[in-house]
Structure 1
Amino acid sequence: MTVDEQKEAVGEAALKYVKPGMKVGLGTGSTAAWFVKAVAREVKAGLKLTLVSTSVQTTQLAESLGLAIKDINDVGMLDLCVDGADEVGEGLALIKGGGGALLREKLIWELAKTCVVIADAAKHVPVLGKFPLPIEVEPFAWKGTVNRVSDVLVEFEIDKLPVMRKKDGQPWITDGGNLIFDVACGRIEDPSGLGAALKSVTGVVDHGLFLDLAEVALIATPDGVRIVEP
């Protein structure tokens, strides 16, 4: 299977976790988009669901496919969230946020009873860190925040500086109005410790380490979809 075919396969496979009447969070990114398309087909065929979105991008896709997206504040707890990941590591520790939606994704994940991550085989790694770790930062006094983040990284033997993400030469602004800085960590030996230390920095809104949240990962391989549990 090609990479796109792998992504489509896991998007379809995730449908087995969807039951009539569920409240479902729709993830963001190229793999999650295949799940959104699969859900749209089933809803068109009569499946009743309440849907919320993790980003403006996903909302636009869902609505273009005829899906109604509810405000999470009107829905509350969710039964299920299905989303992609940039890296899936040991114990289903994840790096997410390559698409810039990490904060809203994490908010939705933490409201879901069950979180299913879907990814192609290239995203399944023995150690997190090859994919740059996104850190979402409040724009006010961002330079001071990033300096403190750099100090934290040194404590975890990561010598790379955070790099401001840009689009068309301008700072990337998240759906929440924040900046994103990416860190080429190389290897993250202590994801839990690093995540806690980053969150302790005033000005850091959140980071792309998703820990102890995923119940199961569906990993697409050239030979089919493999189920991975923590």
Structure 2
Amino acid sequence: MTERNISADSPEKRAAGIAASRMVESGMVVGLGTGSTVAYTIKELGRRVREEGLEILGVVTSYQSEMLAIEAGIPLANLAQHPKLDIAIDGADQIDSKLYAIKGGGAAHTREKIVSASARHFLVVADESKTSIQLNKAVPVEVLPFAKTLVIKKIKELGGKPELRLGLRKDGPVITDNGNFVLDVNLGVINDPEGLALKLSSIPGVVEHGIFSNVDELYIGKKDGSVEIVRK
């Protein structure tokens, strides 16, 4: 996705993305997430760099966000250079009333989790359709290709229904930026996100799962262009 690909406007996503960008100040090192809502944040930060003289460095979570940031004119760095980020801004596939989130629809959740854990403040942007009282969407799980069969077996023992994510325009599985496979695991309503996260992390061959428990703040874009802010 490049900047010109977000021309199909979504008022909710645009409102949340732009509102979140206002949390960024000159001198900050900013984690830049992946997805259609945070794309508006990246575009707005690029405008501020060009028009307002905003001085920031971006640390990207995927090739997608890298391309967007370069096109927007945001100078980039990496975690080796800046291991502590001031803020990370990202989207979510679903987020519940306690700010537990599911991410990984773009297969970038491993890098997104690393970047968000490196930030002093982790902010999520979303439209109302992504909010829920409890999590119930499939959880993306990145796995080593060598371990796929074992991981599937262990997840089924937990009561999950794993499905290998396949490419849309190619034969075979989706390959992450890290060279791994993704399993989308249906677990029904998730009553204990932290407990489930620990169980998934304990399976040999699991690189990372898409349950995030470190969200500090949520910006929810509304259809009328307003933004609701929820904090822990």
TM-score between the two structures when normalised by the length of structure 1 = 0.93
Residues in 1 aligned to 2:187 and 2:49: alpha-carbon distance in whole angstroms: 41
User: Using the alignment, how far apart are the partners of 1:81 and 1:103 within structure 2?
Assistant: 14
Q: Is 1:29 aligned with 2:29?
A: no
Deviation of 1:150 after TM superposition, in Å, equals 1.6
Deviations 1:185-217 (A, max 9, x none): 221111111000000001011100001x11110
> Could you tell me whether the CA contact under 8 Å between 1:29 and 1:99 is conserved in 2?
yes
Q: CA deviation at 1:225?
A: 0.5
Amino acid at match of 2:40: W
CA contact (8 A) 1:3 1:120 kept: no
- Alpha-carbon separation, structure 1, partners of 2:24 and 2:74: 15
Q: How much identity, in percent, do the aligned residues show?
A: 39
Aligned counterparts of 2:97 and 2:141: Cα–Cα separation in 1: 21
The structure 2 residue matched to 1:97, chosen from 96, 104, 109, is 104
Which amino acid is the alignment partner of residue 215 of structure 1?
A: D
Q: Which residue of 1 aligns with 2:71?
A: 64
Pairwise CA distance, 1:61: 1.2
Q: Using the alignment, how far apart are the partners of 1:70 and 1:3 within structure 2? A: 29
Partner secondary structure for residue 152 of structure 2: helix
Letter in 1 for 2:27: G
Kept in 2, the 8 Å contact 1:91–1:229? The answer is no
Alpha-carbon RMSD: 1.3
Structure 2 residue 100 is matched with structure 1 residue 88 = no
Aligned with residue 17 of structure 1, among 3, 9, 23: 23
Structure 1 partner of 2:49: 43
Give 1:3 shift.
Answer: 7.5
Structure 1 CA distance, aligned partners of 2:75 and 2:156?
Answer: 42
Deviations 1:3-33 (CA, angstroms, capped at 9, x unpaired): 7111011111012211110010001000111
The normalised TM-score by structure 2 is: 0.92
Shift of 1:99: 0.7
Render the CA deviation track for 1:142-161: whole Å, top value 9, x for unaligned.
11121112212x2xxx4xx2
Q: 2:162 matched to which residue of 1? A: 162
Paired residue for 2:197?
A: 195
Deviation at 1:65, TM superposition (A): 2.0
Question: Is the CA contact 1:88–1:95 (under 8 Å) kept in the aligned structure 2?
Answer: yes
Among 144, 151, 155, which residue is 1:138 paired with?
Answer: 144
Task: Give me the whole-angstrom Cα distance separating, in 1, the residues matched to 2:147 and 2:111.
Answer: 22
Instruction: Tell me the matched-pair count.
Output: 221
2:129 maps to 122
Partner of 1:7: 13
**Counterpart-to-counterpart distance in 1, 2:231 and 2:13:** 19
In structure 2, the residue corresponding to 1:113 is in which secondary structure? coil
| Deviation by residue 1:28-58 (Cα, 9 ceiling, x = unmatched) | 0001111000000001121000111011110
Partner of 1:40: helix, strand, or coil? helix
The structural deviation recorded for 1:132 is 1.6
Query: Is there any run of 5+ residues in structure 1 with no aligned partner, and where?
Result: none
Aligned equivalents of 2:139, 2:212: Cα separation in 1: 11
Instruction: Give the AA of the match of 2:176.
Output: T
- Equivalent AA in structure 1 for residue 82 of structure 2: V
Q: 1:42 to 1:3 in 2, by over 3 A?
A: closer
2:189 aligned counterpart, secondary structure: coil
Offset of residue 73 of structure 1: 1.0
